[in-house]
Structure 1
Amino acid sequence: MLTYPNIDPVAISIDAFTIAGKTLGPFNIHWYGLMYLFGFTGGWLLAWYRSSTRECVVKPRQTEDLVFYSAMGVVIGARIGYILFYNFQAWMNDPLLIFRVWEGGMSFHGGLIGYAIAMLLYARKINKNFFDLVDFVAPFAPLGIFFGRIGNFIGGELYGRATDVPWAMVFPSDPTGLPRHPSQLYEAVLEGLVMFAILFWFSRKPRPRAAVIGLFLLLYGVFRFSVEFVREPDSHLKADLLFGWVTRGQQLCLPMIILGLGLLIWTYSREPKRRALESAKQGKAA
C-alpha cells in the first residue's frame, strides 16, 4: 500500500490586512482553483502556438477571447451540471446552493455542455463554423482535465473503491479508513495525458470536419466509463445505480460515446464525396 502524500489543499494563505482602515482577509487560495488556472493557461499557450505556426480557424490575437469564452462556459456549466446531475434534490431544498461554489461540486459533463454553448456563441461572433472551432480547441482540453484530476487528488476527493492492490491509498477524507484506488490519478493519466497525446498527434494533420471533437468525445467517454468501475460513487447516489451497477458518471458517458462514434462515422463517410467535389471544382477551374 502506498502512503497518501496528504498535501495541504490550501496552496497559499494570506493573513488579514488593513487598507484605508478596512480589514480584508484572510484569504486562502486552494490548489483546486490553481489547477483551473494552470489548465486554462496551458490551453491558451498551446492554442496561441498552434495558431501562430499554421493557418487555423482562429488567429493568435483571438486566442485570448477564445480562452475567456471557454473558461466561462466550462466553469458555469460545470457548476450547473453538478447541481442538475448530482445534487438536484439538495438544490431544490436550498436554491442558493448553486452559488456556494466554495463548498465544492463541479461536473465535467456540465462543463462540456457549457463549453459547447460558449463555442457556439464565439463561432457566431467570429463568423466561423462551430465544428471547425471545437476541432481546434479539443486537443488542448485534456490538459485542463489533467490538472483538474490532480486537484481532486490533492483535495482527497473523488477517490476510488476499496481495494487491496499494492498502490492503494488511505485518504484522510474517507471516514472508513479503507485502502482505495487512487482513481483521480487513473483519470489524470487516461483522460489527461493519454488523451492529450492522441488528440494532439491526430490533429497535427488536416482531418475531416468534426473528426477531432468526435474522437475527443469517444475517448473521454470510454476512459471515464472504464475508470468508473473502480471509482467510489457519491454516497447519495449509490441507490441510483442503473441496473444495480451503472453509475451516474457512466450514464452520462454513454451519450458521449454514441455521439463521438456517430460523428466519426458521419464525417468519414462524407469524406470521399467531399474530395470528389473538390476535385471536380479544381478540374473546372483548370
Structure 2
Amino acid sequence: MLIHPQINPVALQLGPLGIHWYGLTYLAAFGLFFFLATRRLRHPPFASITGPGAWSRKDIEDMLFLGVMGVVIGGRLGYCLFYKPGHYLTHPLEILAVWQGGMSFHGGMLGVLASQWWFARSRQRPWLQVMDFVAPCVPTGLAAGRVGNFINGELWGRFSDPALPWGMVFPGSGSMQPRHPSQVYQFLLEGLLLFVLLWLYARKPRKTGQVSGAFLLGYGVFRFIAEFFREPDEFLGILALGMSMGQWLCVPMIIGGAWLWVWATKRADPVRAA
C-alpha cells in the first residue's frame, strides 16, 4: 500500500506570489502543444498545401493563443454549468473566482472548439481541417493536467482492494483506506496512450474529419473507463444508470466521434498525400 506524498501545491514562493505546480502543468501543456504542432506541419495534408492557404508557424501561435482562451473560459464555465449550476446561478460573481478551483475538461473542449471555429473563419479554412490539425497535439496536455491533479492530491480514485500493489492512501480524502490512483490511470489512458494512437493514425493521409472523430471517440472511451475507478464528485455522486457525471458527458463524445468518423470515411473527400 502506498501513501500519497502530500506534495506542497506551491512550487515556488516569491514573496506574496506563489507559483503553483498546477499552473506549471498548464504551461507545460501549452508548450507541448506548440512543440507537437510545429511537427504536425510536416504531416499530410498540411505539408502539401501551398500558396495563400499554406500552414505556418504563425498559424500555430494564433491557434495556441485562442486555444488558451478557450480552455480557461470554457473550462470554468463548463464546471459552473455542468457540475454546480444551482450554486453559480445564485452566486454569479463566484464564476470569476478561478483561484478557488473548478475546471471542466468537457467545458474546456467546447471552448477550444469555439475558439478554433473563430480561427478557421478568420483564415477561411475548413473548420474540420483545423480540428484535424489540433487533435493529435492535445492528449499530452491532458496528461500534464493529470500530473497536476496527482501533485495536488485531488480527484482521487474509489476504494481499491487492499491487496492492490499500487493502491494509494490519499490523506486529503479523509480516509486512510487505499484507493485507485485514478489520476495516474487517466494520465496513461487519456494522455499517453491516446497520444500514441492518435499521432500514429494522423501521420498518414486521412479524410477531413477522420482524425477529429478518432480523438472524440478515443477520449470518450478512455475517460468513460477511467471514471469507473475515479471517486465521483461528492455533491453529485452516482447519477442515473449507475454512471457518474463524467461518464454521462462522455456519452455524446463517443456517439459524436463515431458518427463523425463514419461520415468522414464515407464522404467523397480525396486524401491528399504529402
**Shared fold per TM-score greater than 0.5:** yes
Tell me if structure 2 keeps the 8 A contact 1:4–1:170.
yes
* Residue type of the alignment partner of 1:197: V
CA shift, 1:51, in A, is 1.9
CA distance in 2, matches of 1:105, 1:153: 15
Q: In structure 1, what is the Cα distance between the partners aligned to 2:58 and 2:107?
A: 28
Counterpart of 2:262 in structure 1: which amino acid? I
Distance 1:51 1:274 in 2: 20
Residues 225-264 of structure 1: pairs in structure 2 closer than 5 A:
225-238=224-237, 241-243=239-241, 245-264=242-261
Structure 2: distance between partners of 1:200 and 1:64:
20
| 1:7-35 CA distance string (max 9 Å, x none) | 211111111xxxxxxxxxx0111111111
Letter in 1 for 2:132: D
| 2:27 counterpart of 1:29 | no
Q: Secondary structure at the match of 1:205?
A: coil
Query: Which residue does 2:143 correspond to in 1?
Result: 146
Identity among equivalent pairs (%):
47
Aligned-pair distance for 1:133?
0.3
Aligned to 1:219: 218
Question: What displacement does 1:178 show?
Answer: 2.1
> What are the within-5 Å matches in structure 2 for residues 90-239 of structure 1?
90-164=87-161, 165-238=164-237
> Who is 1:14 aligned against?
14
In structure 2, what residue type is equivalent to 1:117? A
CA contact (8 A) 2:75 2:104 kept: yes
Deviation readout 1:82-138 (Å, 9 max, x if unpaired): 000011122123111111111110000000000000000000111110000000010
Larger radius of gyration: 1
> Structure 1 length as normaliser, TM-score?
0.88
Under a length normalisation based on structure 2, what TM-score does the superposition of the two structures give?
Answer: 0.92
Which runs of no fewer than 5 residues in structure 1 stay unpaired? 16-25, 279-286
Query: Does 1:69 pair with 2:66?
Result: yes
Letter in 2 for 1:46: L
Counterpart for residue 46 of structure 1:
36
Q: Spell out the pairing of 1:51-62 with structure 2 (5 A cutoff).
A: 51=41, 54-55=47-48, 58-62=55-59
Shift of 1:52: 5.8
Q: Cα distance, 1:148 vs. partner? A: 0.4
Task: Report the alpha carbon displacement of residue 6 of structure 1 after superposing the two structures with TM.
Answer: 2.0
Structure 1 consecutive aligned stretches of length 4 or more whose deviation exceeds 6 Å: none
Listed as ranges, the gaps of 5+ residues in structure 2 are none
Q: Which whole-Å CA distance do the structure 1 matches of 2:213 and 2:87 have between them? A: 34
In structure 2, what is the Cα distance between the partners aligned to 1:90 and 1:220?
A: 29
CA distance in 1, matches of 2:177, 2:78: 30
Structure 2 letter corresponding to 1:106: M
8 A contact 2:9–2:21 mirrored in 1: yes
User: 1:52 touches 1:59 (CA, 8 Å); kept in 2?
Assistant: no
Deviations along 1:33-80, one digit per CA (max 9) or x if unpaired, are 111110011101111233267346631222111100111111110000
* Alpha-carbon RMSD: 1.6
User: What amino acid does structure 1 have at the position aligned with 2:259?
Assistant: G
Deviates more, 1:64-73 or 1:168-177: 168-177
In 1: Cα distance, 2:138 partner to 2:235 partner: 29
| Higher relative contact order, chain-length normalized (CA < 8 Å, sep 6+) | 2
Distance in 2 (alpha carbons) for counterparts of 1:89 and 1:58: 44
